[in-house]
Amino acid sequence: MIRPINPDSPSEVELVATRMRLTLIEVLGEEVGGSMYTMQWLVERVRWHLDPAHCIGTVLLAEDETGAILGHTILRVQSDDEVGEHGLFSTFYVDPAHRGKGVATAFVRAGEAWMRDQGMKQAMTYTATNNSRLRNLMESQGYGPILEKNDMVVLAKQLAS
């Protein structure tokens, strides 16, 4: 089941922040990914996505039939000079024991639905060029590279109405 995070649950917010760090470590390595941001900054970043005064965003959680949280994705409306306004998958995480079972694909579908509800015509994610796991997921869902700079790539897809 995919559902929005409970913004009043410190344990859910902290779990997402912890898993954001794990994602950074997986993609960038322990030394860089583990030291890039403090836990306090990561917690505040989760909360930032949930505060309409700062961001049009949400955090979606996947949970199993027991209520265990299997993963998350963070979404927001983004606007920049190069590509204009779009829906952004800011981060994904699926617990390693539950990978390969369709959780990430369910996040993409639910995220795209949320983005369409926000009036977005295009969805994107930014990632390291060497993040083959995310690139394979997104490319299997119709995303393609539109921009590469240094060691980063932007993957995008037009959203059907």
- Sequence spans of domains, the chain: 2-158
User: CA 74, CA 80: separation in Å to the nearest integer?
Assistant: 18
Strands laid side by side in the 152-158 sheet = 2-4, 57-63, 69-80, 84-94, 122-128, 152-158, 144-149
**CA–CA dist 158, 39 (Å, integer):** 34
Please give the pLDDT value at position 31: 86
User: Residue for token digits 């539950």?
Assistant: 98
Q: Is the pLDDT of residue 161 over 80?
A: no
Structure-model confidence comparison of residues 137 and 150, the more confident one: 137
The confidence score (pLDDT) of residue 51 equals 95
pTM: 0.92
Give the integer Cα–Cα distance in Å for 47 and 84. Answer: 24
Structure confidence by residue, pLDDT tens digits, 23-73: 888 888 888 878 888 999 999 999 999 999 999 999 999 999 999 999 999
Q: Which of 112, 51, 50 is nearest to 86 (CA)?
A: 112
> What's the pLDDT tens digit per position in 5-34?
999 999 999 999 999 999 888 888 888 878
Structure confidence at residue 80 (pLDDT): 83
Alpha helix stretches (DSSP H) within 29-92: 30-35, 39-49
* Whether residue 82 has pLDDT greater than 80: no
Q: Pick 2-158's CATH classification: 3.40.50.150, 3.40.50.1970, 3.20.20.70, 3.40.630.30.
A: 3.40.630.30
